[in-house]
Homo-oligomer: A and B are copies of this chain.
Amino acid sequence: MENFYTKQPQYYGDYLGLEQILSAQRPESEARGVDAHDEMLFIIIHQAYELWFKQIMHELNSILAIFKNETINDNSASLQTVTHRLGRIVEIWKVLIEQVRILETMRPMDFLDFRDLLTPASGFQSYQFRLLETKLGLKMEQRHQQEYYQQQLRCEHLQQIQQQEVELSLFELLDKWLSRLPFWQIEPYWSDQNTKVAESIENLHPFWQEYRTIYKNSLRGAEITEISLADFDALFFDNSENRSTRLSAAACQSAMFITIYRELPLLQQPFELLNRLLEIDELMATWRYRHWIMVRRMIGLRAGTGGSTGAGYLKGAVENHHIFKDLSRLATYLMPRTVIPPLPEKLANKLIFNNL
């Protein structure tokens, strides 16, 4: 600690680089002698968004680094750290959603004072936001009107995003982590031949056989039954080429197991972790929605400055860009706790503290 005090004394403004931060607002209207009071707000709010995107990226990078480890030691603080940092991302998104209200104090007429000066700059070109979505797991091919991004982003930015797509995203790392969770390797519950997660309906674990039967019995009405059971099987046991769900069958099984038995000590952090991912997804969806509403109010049905159909585009994104959608589907197949059989003691014992 001593060496801390050999350093120069810090001054708030220098430490924070405020000269740099506070000289980065260069309204086009000012440069051109146009009177547009609200352009400053427009610049500053977007800068604030980008600062926060950088922070989210900082958290996300540290989370990806943890998940990139071959195994995650349950006795390290890894999952606690991930859960906590996801929780911070949650808090950031809440503020980003609130921030929309500040921009909404800009009235359409006041935006028109400088809107044409921005052409064709647009939020599409937020490289950080695209990168952030990519790191979470959104692929270019899933994007609504992906051609816009390709037209809009500067070549070097597009390339960096494409490079990022090659690396494993949080979605994919989550899939891998969930798939290798060792619940299904634990013996007494399942017969010897089932040392791995069942990935086809023909080869089900006793656990899933039971659970499937209970689910089936809960369905009412012939048609519903067929559809729902088919969906159930597709989600949890279809591992074919045709699998329509992004999350693997094995990962779906583990996520479901965690959700059902969340009370076991070893599953408490994983359960929190899954919940925070859902929350982030939901908050990002809400942010896009609020943003869409705000844009519609600002420019009506006009094209956005980037030539997009503005409000139209955002609606597409609102619908398509849920990243952890598959996790939120799982709730469909939960059963009341009264009908779920308790875990065999020997298995349960593997998931608790044994030194107490």
Residues of A within 8 A of B (CB): 1, 3-5, 7, 9-18, 20-26, 28, 32, 37, 40-41, 43-48, 50-52, 54-55, 58, 62, 73-77, 80, 84, 87-88, 91-92, 94-95, 98-99, 101-102, 105, 107-109, 112-113, 115-128, 154, 157, 218, 231, 259-260, 262-263, 265-266, 268-269, 275, 278, 282, 285-286, 289-290, 293, 296-302, 328-339, 349-356
Contact = CB atoms under 8 A, between A and B. Distances in A.
B91 A95 contact: no
Contact of A337 (B4, B109, B293, B302): B109
B50 A18 contact: yes
B1 A116 contact: yes
Contact of A94 (B22, B98, B290): B98
Given A4-B119, A11-B154, 14 more contacts: A1-B218, A7-B28, A11-B125, A12-B121, A21-B47, A21-B50, A44-B54, A74-B265, A77-B263, A92-B102, A112-B337, A285-B293, A299-B331, A354-B354
Contacts of A119: 4-5, 9-10
B116 A91 contact: no
B102 A50 contact: no
A74 B263 CA distance: 11
A47 B95 contact: no
Given A24-B17, A91-B105, A355-B350, A51 B58 contact: no
Given A15-B28, A293-B282, A9 B120 contact: yes
A112 B334 CA distance: 8
Contact of A335 (B21, B112, B335): B112
The interface residues of chain A, by DSSP majority, are classed as helix
A21 to B, nearest CB: 5
A88 B105 contact: yes
Contacts of A350: 355
B21 A37 contact: no
- Residue among A15, A101, A301 having the largest count of chain B Cβ atoms under 10 Å: A15
24 contacts: A1-B218, A1-B336, A7-B32, A12-B121, A12-B123, A13-B125, A15-B43, A16-B50, A21-B47, A21-B50, A22-B54, A75-B265, A76-B263, A98-B98, A107-B262, A108-B334, A109-B259, A109-B337, A268-B269, A286-B286, A297-B331, A300-B329, A300-B334, A302-B332
